[in-house]
A and B are shown apart, each in its own frame.
Chain A
Amino acid sequence: MKLSSPAPSLLISELEPPKRLPLYPPSNTKEIAENGLNEECSQPSTPSELLSHRQEIEIFFSTFFTIFVAELGDKTQVTTMLISAESQAPWVVFVGAGAALIATSLLGVLLGRWLASRVSPRVLETATGTILLIVSILLLWDVVSA
């Protein structure tokens, strides 16, 4: 009697993944996009149009401000200050530092997207929340220890 209830749910949960998994690249990306997980992929066919220009600008500015304030007075900024003060060639230092920062943020964004395509939205939200909490603790630590 008691066994009958867990068994069906287990069966269903086992049946669920194949719905997505057996699809190979062309249809797979399409399906992910339909699920609302990855709205904006590199493929032109995926519905990047779903995201309005305004929303995109909003995401841009919220990212810009959060990362900008997080980065102010950070060790990276201090490092670039020191190198440029020592070398007397601020533009060269800026180009080098700028290229490095673009590379690391590209890596970060790609890693985030890769993780997002791998885990369920639920897990992703918890992970994102945890990461943001860690970032905020690191920032507070900076404020306290400065």
Chain B
Amino acid sequence: MDWNLLGLSFVTVFLSELGDKSQLAAIALSGNSKSLRAVFFGAAAALLLASFLGVMLGEGVSQILPTRWVKAIAAVGFAVMAIRLLWFEEHSPESEEV
């Protein structure tokens, strides 16, 4: 086991991920949903799969998945959730969405 490499990849990824949008999304989703456990496992599984694909496929990932389109769709999805929370759920104190 190459501990230097392990440490390097841990520190690099940890620092680049702090305050990044996926962590923001995890904060938002966990604050507003009822199951902390489900949000945590969902977020961790998604991130692990994304980095697994990155590590194993390397540059090939962009050929397999049209990342720009997927991201555009994700952006729209987040915007819809945001708008629903900000404008349409003011009367209901606990929302079960997201």
How distant is B43 from chain A, measured CB to nearest CB, in Å?
4
The answer, yes or no, to whether A24 is at the interface (CB within 8 Å) is: no
Q: Which residues of B contact A80 (CB under 8 A)?
A: 9, 13, 51, 54-55
Using A96-B10, A130-B82 as known contacts, say yes or no to A39 and B35 having CB atoms under 8 A apart: yes
Contact of B82 among A59, A108, A136 (CB under 8 A): A136
Contact of A73 among B29, B36, B67 (CB under 8 A): B67
- Tell me how many residue pairs across A and B have CB atoms closer than 8 Å: 318
Bound-complex Cα distance A61 to B41 (A): 9
The answer, yes or no, to whether A28 is at the interface (CB within 8 Å) is: no
Q: Which residues of B contact A94 (CB under 8 A)?
A: 51-52, 55-56
Contact mask A35-55 → B, CB, 8 Å, 1/0? 011011000000010010001
Contact of A74 among B7, B20, B86 (CB under 8 A): B20
Question: How many A residues are at the interface, by size bracket?
Answer: 35 or more
Q: Which residues of A contact B48 (CB under 8 A)?
A: 98, 101-102
Residue contact A109 to B36, C-beta cutoff 8 Å: yes
How distant is A97 from chain B, measured CB to nearest CB, in Å?
4
The answer, yes or no, to whether A9 is at the interface (CB within 8 Å) is: no
Q: Which of B6, B43, B81 has the most CB of A within 10 A?
A: B43
Q: Which residues of B contact A (CB under 8 A)?
A: 1-2, 5-14, 16-18, 20-56, 58-59, 61-62, 65, 67-68, 70-79, 81-86, 89-90, 93-96, 98
Cβ contacts A to B, 22 pairs, < 8 Å: A39-B35, A59-B38, A67-B47, A68-B46, A70-B21, A72-B65, A73-B67, A74-B20, A77-B53, A92-B6, A96-B13, A97-B13, A100-B10, A101-B47, A105-B44, A108-B25, A108-B30, A115-B27, A126-B85, A129-B82, A129-B84, A139-B74
